[in-house]
Structure 1
Amino acid sequence: MPAPTTATVVLDNGGAVIKVGRAGDLDPTAVLPNYLIRPLSSKKFVVPSPSTDLTSAAFRRPIDRGYLINPDLQRDIWSHAFAYLSFTPSAASSLLLTVPLFTLPSIYNSTLELVFEDFGFGSACFKDPPSLAWLHERSKGRNNGIAAGVVVESGFSWTQAAPVVDGVTLNYGVRRVDLGGKALTNYLKEMVSYRKINVMDETLLMDEVKEKLCFVSLNVQRDLQLARKPGRSNPFRCTYVLPDGVTHTKGFVKDPVDAERYVKITDNSTFTSTDPKCEVDDSDPPEDRKRIDLTKNEFDLTNERFLVPEMIFRPADLGMNQAGLAECIVRSIDACHPHLHPLLYGNIVLTGGSTLFPRFKERLEMELRPLVPDHYRVKIVAQQDPILSVWRGGSQLASRHDFEAMCVTKSEYEELGSTRCRRRFFN
């Protein structure tokens, strides 16, 4: 398809990171954090860089619970992203920007002001992430040309199921769980701080711990029993070493091979291994093993590894009066026309960073199958790179020959106002 006549930038404005690049490219030019930090050695908030010391750094995020709350801060971060892209917005350029579903009019108006008044784009198109993720999935041809499916987006701010038909997200069918990557990291910080060492100020560090060591359990009751085993006979026990600022400035897993022992667990109720390292270490008395050595710059994880992602499937365990992900999907599909049900159950697409937990797809299929009528086929597709799928869908859309017809121009914004522009994209 011919490319649009103007320079078009695609910006996926996520709660944790933003993805920015030019229309038609396969991958974004940059994936940058969507926040500013204030290191302990600084008195002002700065854009984080690889050399920045992030230990106990303070955060300022322009997005809270998925929605833009600080346009001024967002403007500064976008300016940095455009500079990284070597791009200067002008009246001859277009922007494709992701905007969350159910954005409040006041927030949407602030977004329009950012795009047209602060940056001066000549035209812009606003799309919700589920529709772009579905567009990217359809381009791979794995859904046999079927134009309907459910996009399960589990990102930084929330987890939601959104039915998409012919590239349009059915708002009335969207169901959401108020748990995402941010809440899971906070939960892990609380568990480690209560049991091991105070890490409540180490958000980025615990983000990394979560991404490297957490996984989804396929049998929680069995794994809870196995997690009670002492010493190295516990298949979930692993050690994470904290940065000391001298010999190493980044945290790391002490024994990565040891941390992967859980994959050998079978459906049997006991864990067996021929690895001699898995034997119980009885060199110290039991009362000494229970003590926490505050001089050590490391901590162990056991059942925290699977109890943290478990919250997506069991929010009630946190005291939240919300359905788990499987029931959320069923409610989303039930809200749609019955003729769509077989298509929707047969095309469930996982996107978002929180779907990267090992065994996420398998656990969801296990929980979803008993809730679905037997005559419906359930097919769940895990995208190869769920963090970039929304941006890639936006890049494909922005490179179409009819993209300019989808946009609202700056002159239309000035003449019709933000309300009319908003209705053009979100009813």
Structure 2
Amino acid sequence: MLENVLVLDNGAYTIKAEYGTAQQPRVIHNCKIARGKGDKKTFIGDQLKPCFNLPNIQRSYDEIVFEAYEFQSYFRTIAPWLCIQNDTTNLYNDINSSAKPDCVLVVDSGYSFTHIIPFVMNRPVLPAIRRINIGDYLLNYFINCRYWDMMDQTYVMNEVKESCCYVSQNFLGDLETCRRNTRNNSILREYVLPDFSRNSQGYIREKKCKEESYDQSDEQVLYMNNERFTVPEILFNPSDIGMKQAGIPEVIVESINAVLPEMFPFSVNEVDLQGLFYSNIVLVGGNSLFSGYKSRIEKDLRILAPTDFEIRVGIPENPITYAWKGGNNFITMPEFKEKLVTRSEYLEFGIDIAAKTVNPCAAIRYLINFCIVAESPR
């Protein structure tokens, strides 16, 4: 019964969990660290805003599920695989397409890394998986360096980034705008930092008129100018900070080109294979929420990809909970029961039996944040 099935998506920054009868995950736990302005007190996790959190058990997920919680059965997989259990055709506003595509490329850009994972017939193509060592945590670092050392203010800097940053469609033009004086600079934003005594939420300060002045004696303000777009630009040009890696659009092309017909037991044309991937790209993860992110990927791919390929890039309404939603869909499918490992199997054969739950994804289950779907104790 679905009300006994727990779907949990364990990310590096958030944990999404809820039972199968729900439409959205009830629990989104932010891994927060912040420090008050006055007493310099450090707030960690739910001390900043109380919410449900999993016990801090320093053991594997398999042991937690079967030994600590005594779940009856268990399925572990990677978040991108759960993403494609959704109806991805709805992401492209294509009313003529209803069948589940044979080839899907998932771009998962989250807190720790950015992964590009191609799937063929619901299985990840392991040799074609690519990782870019850039995520939210690194983007936060480059905001920190400009004004104050706020490396221990994870939660605050994420709020700043999410409120102010965007992906530029005209990088050089935006840089020129940032060089103008304050009155003519449409990009400059003043972000008032929280002090955690009167308020725990920062905000962008808006002036009622250009001549109005503010009393800043009791406020800490971050002036976000070119940081608004130069920080997300690292996702597209890691070489700007000395990293010897390509940006997301280039790595997408590299990943697609690495999928070769001889990898499969069935006959397939290489051009057709690549065309399917370019027309079925799904963007998930927190970085997908940057304004202009999807448009920039489409723009850059149109330059890099062969001209006769259609470029279709889809982004769900909530790219952070999309994997959880896919897990919620998966538990209604007939193959769900076939993939479960039962508690009796675990007790008889030990922890290695859980490896079968990640069958097509076994080699990458520790490369990417993974998810679990489990039946509650009876």
Indicate which of 92, 103, 125 corresponds to 1:170: 125
1:416 positional shift: 2.6
Residue 34 and residue 208 in structure 1: after superposition, are their counterparts in 2 closer, same or farther (change >3 A)?
Answer: closer
Structure 1 residue 383 and structure 2 residue 316: aligned? yes
Q: Give 1:117's aligned residue.
A: 67
Indicate which of 235, 241, 247 corresponds to 1:324: 247
Structure 1: unaligned runs, 5 residues or longer:
53-75, 81-106, 259-275, 285-292
Q: Give 1:208's aligned residue.
A: 159
Structure 2 letter corresponding to 1:10: V
Residue 400 and residue 159 in structure 1: after superposition, are their counterparts in 2 closer, same or farther (change >3 A)?
Answer: same
Q: Tell me the number of residue pairs that the alignment of Structure 1 and Structure 2 aligns.
A: 340
Structure 2 letter corresponding to 1:236: I
Structure 2: unaligned runs, 5 residues or longer:
261-269, 364-378
1:207 positional shift: 0.8
CA distance in 1 between partners of 2:197 and 2:117 (Å): 47
1:390 positional shift: 0.5
Q: Give 1:190's aligned residue.
A: 145
Q: Give 1:226's aligned residue.
A: 177
Indicate which of 75, 78, 84 corresponds to 1:128: 78
Structure 1 residue 347 and structure 2 residue 280: aligned? yes
Structure 2 letter corresponding to 1:190: C
Q: Give 1:311's aligned residue.
A: 234
Give the 3-state SS of the residue equivalent to 1:136 in structure 2: coil
Q: Give 2:266's aligned residue.
A: none
CA distance in 2 between partners of 1:351 and 1:324 (Å): 16
Structure 2 letter corresponding to 1:123: S
Indicate which of 15, 22, 25 corresponds to 1:25: 22
Q: Give 2:134's aligned residue.
A: 179
1:245 positional shift: 4.6
Deviations 1:226-281 (A, max 9, x none): 111112211111111122455434321101x89xxxxxxxxxxxxxxxxx84xxx7
Percentage of pairs with the same residue: 31
Q: Give 1:15's aligned residue.
A: 12
Do the aligned partners of 1:132 and 1:393 also contact (CA within 8 Å) in 2? yes
Q: Give 1:78's aligned residue.
A: 54
> Counterparts in 2 of 1:217-366, with a 5 A limit?
217-245=168-196, 247-255=198-206, 277=210, 296-337=219-260, 338=270, 339-366=272-299
Give the 3-state SS of the residue equivalent to 2:146 in structure 1: helix
Structure 2 letter corresponding to 1:220: F
1:136 positional shift: 1.5
Q: Whose relative contact order is higher, 1 or 2, with alpha carbons under 8 Å and at least 6 apart?
A: 2
Do the aligned partners of 2:34 and 2:155 also contact (CA within 8 Å) in 1? no
Residue 352 and residue 245 in structure 1: after superposition, are their counterparts in 2 closer, same or farther (change >3 A)?
Answer: closer
Residue 245 and residue 347 in structure 1: after superposition, are their counterparts in 2 closer, same or farther (change >3 A)?
Answer: closer
Structure 1 residue 370 and structure 2 residue 303: aligned? yes
CA distance in 2 between partners of 1:243 and 1:44 (Å): 13
Residue 249 and residue 415 in structure 1: after superposition, are their counterparts in 2 closer, same or farther (change >3 A)?
Answer: closer
CA distance in 1 between partners of 2:113 and 2:294 (Å): 17
Q: Give 2:332's aligned residue.
A: 399
> Counterparts in 2 of 1:146-161, with a 5 A limit?
146-161=101-116
Give the 3-state SS of the residue equivalent to 1:191 in structure 2: coil
1:141 positional shift: 7.7
Residue 127 and residue 415 in structure 1: after superposition, are their counterparts in 2 closer, same or farther (change >3 A)?
Answer: same
TM-score (norm 1): 0.72
Do the aligned partners of 2:34 and 2:152 also contact (CA within 8 Å) in 1? no
CA distance in 2 between partners of 1:415 and 1:406 (Å): 17
Give the 3-state SS of the residue equivalent to 2:259 in structure 1: coil
CA distance in 1 between partners of 2:103 and 2:21 (Å): 24
CA distance in 2 between partners of 1:228 and 1:46 (Å): 38
1:357 positional shift: 0.4
TM-score (norm 2): 0.81
1:23 positional shift: 1.3
